[in-house]
Structure 1
Amino acid sequence: MKLIVIDPGHGGTDSGAVGNGLKEKDVVLSIALKTDWYLNNYYKVKTIVTRYTDKYLSLQDRSKISNNNNADLFFSVHCNAFNSKPCGYEDYTYTSVSANTTNIRLIFHNKVKEVISKYGINYRGMKTKNLHVLRETRASAILAETLFIDNVHDSNLLKDINFIEDISRAYADGIALALKLEKK
């Protein structure tokens, strides 16, 4: 059975980005826990969430959880900031990845794009970046930047329970499709 490590970014003393009455650490925890719920209720899979509460974990702790458990996929949930124009959704892999990781990310990404289109969210694309959790995790790793918390349009969606449900389900379904998880 495949093992997915779901990583809600930031936590505890590290609030992450803030804007429009929201803290990244809270938004991504909600999305991560809902993604975990969808995966476990609809697919045959094992999951580990790096934090179930508002606690601090170092980047090293996060990658160690994945590596020590031989995860098949490390999925890190974040929100962007700095009110870049245009705002919206993007996801990342490390700057140099295997063909398998590239394929997993493409399948995942295309599933998420369905929700992005449904809500008229700007699509910022698939990107690469030298980030610790992408670089130091042995499993295939994806980091999703779920909208811009400091942009009013995006933050209003992050406050909308329907959007949170839809994006969480898209993350779960995208992971399941990419890893060929069997439905329950």
Structure 2
Amino acid sequence: MKLYLDPGHGGSDAGAQGKGINEKTLNLDIALRIRTILTQDYKGVRVRMSRSDDRTKSLRERTNEANGWGADFYLSIHCNAFNGAARGYEDFIYSSLSDRSDTAAHQRAIHKEVMKTNELPDRGLKKANFHVLRETAMPALLTENGFIDNPADARKMANPAWRQAVARGHVNGLAKAFKLKLAASNQALCKVIAGGFHSKENASTRVELLKSHGISAFITKTSIAGKPWYRVQAGAYSNRKNARTHLDTVRAAGINDAYITGRGQGV
């Protein structure tokens, strides 16, 4: 499965703004988390991003790149803004598509899984004539992950743990929509991950912080888009309930971006 992952806006285009937050930054953070989970936890998935840093890129460049690459699915990550009072999550497919189309089926799968994780009001499954939905040769979805100018939504957006949960919701939806298979190394165990870093030094600092709280941890190295990535693993469990208990312990130590990978046993 080839996913073209598009963090909306970037560079000179900040997107929506509110409560001291720029949409372009949030979009990129969530998208990078989606890429990390997909490439590390699933097999047979290739991810290309419209941008992996803060750069300006036109809508036409994005869709042309996705079409030329022959992507199987186009996922565009956004956040909303309106009047400071509106809040919640919504997603869009192209306006002319039937509710019986494959794209609509993908939308339903992803919408359902994101709503399980984002703790936001459900604004529904919608359709629109957006460029990235109209000019893509493959099924495409645009998600709007809360309202950046709403105080309640913005508080969630500022929390790395919330952004990780939203990324996980997107991945769970993609896994359902495209019947993705977990990598063999992630099928049996639930791993508690206490952060991922481009810098090994930052990963080492995280390990020392965990050790100061009596939590054992070590660094695992992988490569994403040709660049090194250092993950801090703080435990592995065959039972998911035990993994969740340890995750709570890690988060109580101030590690808000900790999360669980793998299925394990139980719920």
TM-score, length of structure 2 as denominator length: 0.66
Three-state SS of the structure 2 residue aligned to 1:12 is coil
How many aligned residue pairs are there?
Answer: 180
Question: Once the two structures are aligned, what percentage of the paired residues are identical?
Answer: 39
Q: For 1:17 and 1:60, how far apart are their aligned partners in 2?
A: 20
Three-state SS of the structure 1 residue aligned to 2:182 is coil
**Residue identity matched to 1:134:** L
- Deviation per residue, 1:126-167 (Å, 9 max, x gap): 000000000000111000001000111111100011100100
Q: Which residue among 114, 117, 125 is the counterpart of 1:115?
A: 117
Three-state SS of the structure 2 residue aligned to 1:142 is strand
Q: Does 1:75 align with 2:75?
A: yes
Flag the structure with higher strand content. 2
Gaps of 5+ in 2: 184-267
Tell me what 2:173 maps to: 174
Q: For 1:15 and 1:4, how far apart are their aligned partners in 2?
A: 24
Tell me what 2:258 maps to: none
Gaps of 5+ in 1: none
The structure with more radius of gyration: 2
Three-state SS of the structure 1 residue aligned to 2:60 is helix
Tell me what 1:11 maps to: 10
Tell me what 2:220 maps to: none
Q: Does 1:33 align with 2:47?
A: no
- More relative contact order in 1 or in 2 (CA 8 Å, sep 6+)? 1
Tell me what 1:51 maps to: 51
Confirm or deny: 8 A CA contact 2:34 2:170 kept in the other structure.
yes
Q: For 2:35 and 2:107, how far apart are their aligned partners in 1?
A: 18
The CA RMSD over aligned residues, in Å, is 1.1
Q: For 2:96 and 2:177, how far apart are their aligned partners in 1?
A: 19
**Residue identity matched to 2:78:** H
Q: For 2:126 and 2:84, how far apart are their aligned partners in 1?
A: 15
TM-score, length of structure 1 as denominator length: 0.95
Q: How far apart are residue 82 of structure 1 and its match? A: 1.1
Three-state SS of the structure 1 residue aligned to 2:91 is strand
